[in-house]
Amino acid sequence: MKNRGKQKRAKNTIQTILNAAIQVLVTHGYEKATTNRVAERAGYSVGTLYQYFEDKEDIYGEVVDQALLNLLNGAASCPIEATLEKTLQQLLQQILRGVEQNPAVIHALEALLVGHFRAKRDNAFESVIASTTRLLEAHRGEIVIEDLNLAARIIVGASEGLSNSANIHWMEYHELEAHLLRLQVAYLTMKIP
């Protein structure tokens, strides 16, 4: 990104462009998501768009960076609570909070996480796994799965899959959180004979 903008007005312009880019991506797909369409959706001229971004790839790189940063921050800053269930609930709330504010970002990320954007996602995924493993280690006595890194991979992967396929028209975020929590707690604590 060319100019991150230090003034509130510049930051608002950048965020408006990024939100428009998400909408264009969801509507038209990456191949047809042109800078002209993004500028038009944002209500700015293409010249304004180019004051802040080099090209389409730069715009969508920033969309991916922001979404992944929210995910990473949510996982890394999750507190360890008194019980495994409470800790997992905190983790889900922190991660889903950013998604709930802009539901289209999940569908946009799903479309973008191919090619060179995929490496960014994979690096973020590994960081979330490390943060989740740290949280699970704090509740070792409540968990029946021996390999906590594998357990973290499974619950993060399952949560990502369900979050990506969830449709806000048939499931509210508090319902998604409840279902994910149930899946995670059952998987981590249920003993199978």
Q: Same domain for 72 and 141?
A: yes
68: domain CATH number is 1.10.357.10
Q: Is 137 found in the same domain as 90?
A: yes
pLDDT tens readout for residues 19-71: 999 889 888 888 899 999 999 999 999 999 999 999 998 998 888 888 888 88
The tens digit of pLDDT for each residue in 120-132 reads 888 888 999 999 9
| Domain edge (last residue) among 21, 36, 54 | 54
Residues 174 and 84 in one domain: yes
In a domain, 3, yes or no: no
pLDDT tens sequence across 125-171: 899 999 999 999 999 999 999 999 999 999 999 888 777 776 555 67
Q: Give the residue carrying structure tokens 């090619």.
A: 115
Torsion of CA 33, 38, 41, 45, to 10 degrees: -140
Is there a domain that residue 164 lies in? yes
- pTM score, two decimals? 0.79
Range of the domain at 166: 59-189
Task: Give me the residue label for tokens 């510049």.
Answer: 10
